């Protein structure tokens, strides 16, 4: 036991210098709370304390943590000078951990730790000791406080509290670039030994990265690491205590290092030349092609701009960048025309948008490629030259007057023939016609500029070879004015004349309007009509500014004598020839006040007789109303009839059903019809022509003479109708007033199987055909079948069923 005491005394001397600096490490307190430690007061100096006689004996202050023995750990011994060893002194221990952790022998003062201590949980314990009389429990010493400090051992490994780590470093960074700093914490006592002194090392991640042993700063160990080759590294960092010596504890963490991108790769086209095809009919601004230059970089470092730097299509195409895909999008800026140019050559350049100057030595951050665009031909509609044509016509132009001509051509190499027509939606009233072959526009109706001064027509140009190809042109026809409208009063004038008007007083100023618009403006001349030239009441003065003033000739107008005057005014315009109109001005005579304001105008009111009062008038009116009511009641009574309660006669009102069981004779019944008339196919019936002629003559006014030809009476029935149809067709072809648009007239053909003959059977006699139909072969493919059939008329007597397509539309024959 003496060796242990000496051992603790030696340790106590080792901590003397700490006790001088920190009195809390001394662990002694008097009963009144005054620290038993060196004091700034000279009487409490260290030397004084060493010389002072103590009643307590302290021989232990520290205890090791993590004791693993089976017996209680001896901590120290309390002893008082009063204790003579006779058992009269008893030792009492109180404070933190007393009884539960620390126990004391009441007779000897020995202190033991009964539990395993952990410095990381609690580093010291504050206890209170007191010596009392064992019999009376009276204190024989003042209570004193002391501290039992748990001495640290290396029982905790370093821990990375913030791990695992993620960090990034730009690619191509120079050697030694800092990536991230890691920190490990050791729970052991950093002030005692090397248990908490940590050093860092890299276990996995070499030779790309390194770590500083003391600071934990991770740096790049290789220069110019390329993200495009490898973009991520996982490092294992170790922290070891005991300054990394043998037996130290260690902990590890992972650090994921990602190489961030820099713009160190230029864009590159996968090919040096590209070829695309596009139809000439695509509209502006359609996309023609897309191409992309590859860039190994990402995000903003891969953004690029495309430009057309050379080629023979300047202004025809343009290129822009698709921000989502970084593709170069070539689009059309002007319409294409295969017949003008069938191919284009472009030189496209792709350039990085965000260039890092420190990597300019890697080469130009751009690339070029050749692009060839092939224009494919399509069947285009006819094109008008010019697209909008302006024409003028006088509103006095007669029907059939030629106004002008439009011209369209097929832009394709086939140069198909063209037929012209008017879009009737733009000419609903059919004022104009256009020649289908020449495009000459003429008037079809009389024009009136005052109703419509400008006509906006759409002219259609249709290819004969492909009717689906239709071109459209605009024709603006301005109707020129002629003097065809006479001037009239500008408004309906209401002229009031005071009875006390003075002679020569102006009672009204009039003006005129004219629907015409002469180039030099209007000039109107006013005068009284010839019938009013000898008027003694009023006179008219032309003001020479398209107005005129009406003046009185005398005074003393009397309303009772004449309350209304009608004054005819003649207005003449300045056109050529001049037009005039007579307008009547009404002048009412009024009773005016002293200021000339009319009070009452027109006819003087009828005055009641002096002897008839208002009451009498009301009585008369009441009688008249009463008589009218009585007459209405009598009329209503006469119209109302009361229905009888019983039928006037005993007629049976039930329905009578009569049934007949007679059957017809069927085909054998020859009594009801004249079978001879039905079976005779060759009897000449002039009534057929007579029945049809009046009806068709109303539609075709020029065909009456043709129908009455005597040759019909010498032909069979089927030939009669065939000749009738051909006459109608010929009349239509030569009729100058026939409309240019298509019309449809259908004549049904029943065939030759009917015993009664078909009224619509048409046959062409080869001997009577005098017209040549060779021109049908020039009308295009739509008339090919008709031309073939008409060309064989001389060798056949009956025409087969055919369809005729002309200006009047298809005629089924």
| Average pLDDT of the chain to the nearest whole number | 77
- DSSP letter string over 134-186? TTT--BSS--EEEEEEEEP-S----B-TT-SEEEEEETTPPTT-EEEE---B-
Instruction: Work out the burial of residue 111: count CB atoms within 10 Å of its CB; fewer than 13 is exposed, 13-18 middle, 19 or more buried.
Output: buried
Question: What confidence score (pLDDT) does residue 269 get?
Answer: 94
Q: Taking Cα atoms as reference points, which of 572, 568, 570 lies closest to residue 584?
A: 568
Residue predicted with more confidence, 139 or 778? 139
Section 609-631 average pLDDT:
80
Residue predicted with more confidence, 7 or 355? 355
Q: For residue 787, what are the contacts with CB-CB under 8 A and spacing of at least 6?
A: 773, 776, 777, 779
pLDDT digits (tens, 9 = 90+) for 562-599: 889 999 999 999 888 889 999 999 999 998 888 888 88
Q: For residue 743, what are the contacts with CB-CB under 8 A and spacing of at least 6?
A: 808, 809
List the structure tokens of 120: 């990381």
Question: What confidence score (pLDDT) does residue 164 get?
Answer: 93
Q: For residue 590, what are the contacts with CB-CB under 8 A and spacing of at least 6?
A: 496, 497, 498, 499, 559, 598, 599, 600, 601, 602
Query: For residue 20, how many other CB atoms are within 10 A of its CB?
Result: 13
pLDDT digits (tens, 9 = 90+) for 502-552: 899 999 999 999 888 887 788 999 999 988 878 888 999 999 999 999 999
Query: For residue 272, how many other CB atoms are within 10 A of its CB?
Result: 9
For the chain, the residue count is 813
* pLDDT confidence tier of residue 716, bands split at 50, 70 and 90: low
Section 298-323 average pLDDT:
91
pLDDT digits (tens, 9 = 90+) for 191-234: 777 778 899 999 998 899 999 999 999 999 998 899 989 999 99
Question: What confidence score (pLDDT) does residue 534 get?
Answer: 82
The helix (run of H) or strand (run of E) holding residue 804 is strand 803-806
List the structure tokens of 386: 């010019």
Whether the per-residue pLDDT at 278 is higher than 90: the answer is yes
Question: What confidence score (pLDDT) does residue 131 get?
Answer: 86
Whether the per-residue pLDDT at 138 is higher than 90: the answer is no
Q: Residues 559-566: contacts with CB within 8 Å, 24+ apart?
A: 559/499, 559/589, 559/590, 559/591, 559/600, 559/601, 559/602, 559/603, 559/604, 560/604, 562/589, 563/588, 563/589, 563/601, 563/602, 563/603, 563/604, 564/588, 564/589, 564/602, 565/497, 565/537, 565/538, 565/589
Distance, in Å, from the CA atom of 791 to the CA atom of 172, rounded to the nearest integer, reads: 90
- DSSP letter string over 76-112? EEEEETT--SSS-EEEEEEETTBTTTEEE-TTT-EEE
| 142-146, 161-165, 344-348, range with the lowest pLDDT | 142-146
Residue predicted with more confidence, 688 or 328? 328
Distance, in Å, from the CA atom of 373 to the CA atom of 137, rounded to the nearest integer, reads: 117
* Distance set, CA 286 to CA 275, 317, 332, 335 (Å): 17, 10, 6, 10
């Amino acid at each position: 036991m003496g060796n242990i005491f000496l051992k603790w005394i030696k340790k106590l001397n080792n901590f003397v210098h700490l006790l001088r600096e920190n009195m809390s490490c001394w662990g002694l307190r008097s009963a009144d709370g005054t620290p038993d430690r060196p004091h700034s007061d000279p009487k409490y100096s260290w030397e004084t304390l060493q010389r002072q006689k103590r009643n307590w004996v302290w021989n232990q202050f520290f205890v090791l943590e993590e004791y693993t023995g089976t017996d209680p750990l001896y901590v120290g011994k309390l002893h008082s000078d009063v204790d003579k060893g006779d058992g009269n002194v008893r030792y009492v221990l109180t404070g933190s951990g007393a009884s539960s952790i620390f126990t004391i022998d009441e007779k000897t003062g020995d202190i033991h730790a009964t539990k395993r201590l952990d410095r990381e949980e609690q580093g010291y314990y504050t206890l209170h000791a007191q010596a009392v009389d064992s019999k009376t429990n009276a204190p024989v010493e003042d209570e004193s406080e002391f501290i039992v400090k748990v001495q640290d051992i290396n029982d905790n490994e370093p821990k990375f509290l913030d791990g695992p780590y993620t960090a990034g470093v730009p690619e191509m960074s120079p050697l030694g670039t800092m990536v991230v700093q890691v920190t490990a914490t050791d729970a052991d006592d950093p002030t005692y030994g090397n248990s908490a002194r940590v050093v860092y090392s890299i276990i996995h991640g070499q030779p790309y990265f390194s770590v500083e042993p003391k600071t934990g700063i991770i740096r790049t160990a290789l220069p110019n690491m390329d993200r495009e080759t490898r973009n991520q590294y996982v490092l294992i960092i170790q922290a070891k205590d005991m300054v990394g010596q043998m037996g130290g504890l260690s902990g590890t963490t992972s650090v994921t290092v990602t190489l961030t991108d820099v713009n160190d790769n230029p864009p590159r086209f996968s090919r040096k030349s590209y070829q695309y095809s596009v139809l000439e009919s695509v509209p502006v601004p359609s996309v023609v092609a897309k191409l992309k230059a590859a860039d190994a970089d990402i995000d903003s470092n891969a953004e690029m701009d495309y430009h057309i730097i050379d080629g023979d299509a300047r202004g025809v195409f343009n290129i822009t960048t698709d921000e989502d895909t970084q593709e170069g999008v070539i689009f059309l800026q002007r319409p294409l025309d295969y017949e003008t140019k069938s191919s284009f050559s472009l030189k496209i350049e792709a350039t990085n948008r965000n260039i890092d100057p420190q990597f300019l030595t890697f080469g130009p951050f751009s690339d070029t490629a050749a692009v060839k665009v092939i224009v494919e031909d399509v069947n285009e509609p006819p094109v008008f030259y010019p697209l909008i044509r302006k024409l003028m016509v006088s509103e006095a132009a007669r029907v059939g007057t030629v106004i002008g001509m439009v011209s369209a051509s097929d832009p394709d190499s086939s140069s198909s023939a063209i037929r012209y027509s008017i879009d009737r939606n733009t000419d609903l009233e059919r004022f104009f016609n256009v020649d289908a072959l020449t495009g000459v526009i003429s008037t079809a109706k009389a024009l009136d500029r005052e109703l419509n001064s400008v006509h906006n027509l759409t002219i259609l140009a249709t290819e004969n070879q492909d009717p689906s190809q239709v071109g459209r042109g605009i024709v603006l026809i301005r109707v020129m004015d002629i003097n065809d409208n006479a001037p009239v009063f500008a408004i309906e004038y209401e002229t009031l004349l005071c009875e006390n008007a003075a002679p020569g007083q102006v009672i009204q100023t009039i003006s005129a309007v004219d629907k015409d618009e002469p180039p030099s403006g209007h000039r109107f001349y006013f005068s009284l009509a010839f019938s009013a030239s000898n008027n003694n009441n009023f006179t008219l003065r032309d003001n020479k500014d398209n107005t005129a003033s009406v003046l009185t000739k005398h005074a003393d107008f009397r309303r009772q004598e004449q309350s209304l005057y009608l004054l005819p005014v003649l207005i003449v315009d300045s056109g050529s020839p001049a037009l005039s109109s007579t307008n009547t001005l009404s002048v009412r005579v009024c009773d005016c006040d002293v200021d000339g304001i009319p009070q009452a105008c027109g006819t003087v009111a009828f005055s009641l007789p002096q002897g008839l009062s208002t009451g009498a008038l009301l009585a008369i009116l009441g009688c008249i109303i009463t008589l009218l009511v009585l007459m209405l009641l009598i009329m209503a009574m006469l119209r109302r009839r009361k229905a009888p309660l019983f039928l006037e006669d005993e007629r049976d009102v039930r329905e009578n059903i009569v049934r007949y069981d007679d059957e017809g004779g069927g085909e054998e019944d020859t009594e009801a019809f004249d079978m001879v008339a039905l079976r005779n196919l060759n009897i000449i019936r002039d009534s057929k022509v007579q029945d049809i002629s009046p009806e068709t003559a109303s539609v075709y006014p020029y065909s009456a003479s043709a129908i009455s030809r005597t040759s019909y009476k010498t032909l069979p029935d089927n030939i009669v109708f065939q000749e009738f149809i051909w006459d109608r067709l010929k009349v239509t072809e030569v009729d100058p007033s026939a409309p240019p648009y298509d019309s449809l007239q259908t004549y049904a053909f029943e065939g030759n199987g009917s015993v009664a003959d078909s009224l619509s059977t048409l046959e062409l006699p080869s001997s009577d055909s005098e017209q040549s139909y060779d021109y049908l072969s020039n009308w295009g493919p739509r008339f090919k079948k008709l031309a073939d059939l008409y060309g064989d008329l001389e060798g056949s007597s009956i025409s087969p069923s055919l369809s005729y397509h002309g200006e009047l539309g298809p005629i089924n024959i």
